[in-house]
């Protein structure tokens, strides 16, 4: 956990969120500024700065996060969806705690 990380605070329950799933490894919650009718984030409980910070020891966690995306998208009523992982400031990352965006539910999806 990082004391200054907003996602660490959400994972710890110090900041409220609208959770749609949680287990020992991840917390999934609705994005506070959605870019689509359905937009949620899959966030690991462990503080990992970005995808560029990952190594082979993160393989199972990354796989779990990606496999959760279609399951949760379906539960949220999506027939199709987009996933996105922003990496680094130049890659559009704003919160430096790795997370997977999952969004859909309309005919227009965010431009990437």
Tell me the catalytic residues. 99
Q: How many Cβ atoms from other residues are within 10 Å of residue 56's Cβ? A: 6
Give start and end residues of each alpha helix (H) in the chain: 6-12, 59-75
Residues near 66 by beta carbon (within 8 Å), at least 6 away in sequence: 83, 100
């Amino acid at each position: 956990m990082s004391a200054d990380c907003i996602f660490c605070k959400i994972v710890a329950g110090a900041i409220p969120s609208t959770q749609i799933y949680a287990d020992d490894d991840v917390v999934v919650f609705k994005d506070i500024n959605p870019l689509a009718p359905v937009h949620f984030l899959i966030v690991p409980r462990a503080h990992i700065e970005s995808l560029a910070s990952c190594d082979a020891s993160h393989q199972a966690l990354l796989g779990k996060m990606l496999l959760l995306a279609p399951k949760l998208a379906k539960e949220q009523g999506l027939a199709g969806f987009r996933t996105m992982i922003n990496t680094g400031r130049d890659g559009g990352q704003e919160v430096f705690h790795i997370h997977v965006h999952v969004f859909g539910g309309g005919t227009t999806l965010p431009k990437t």
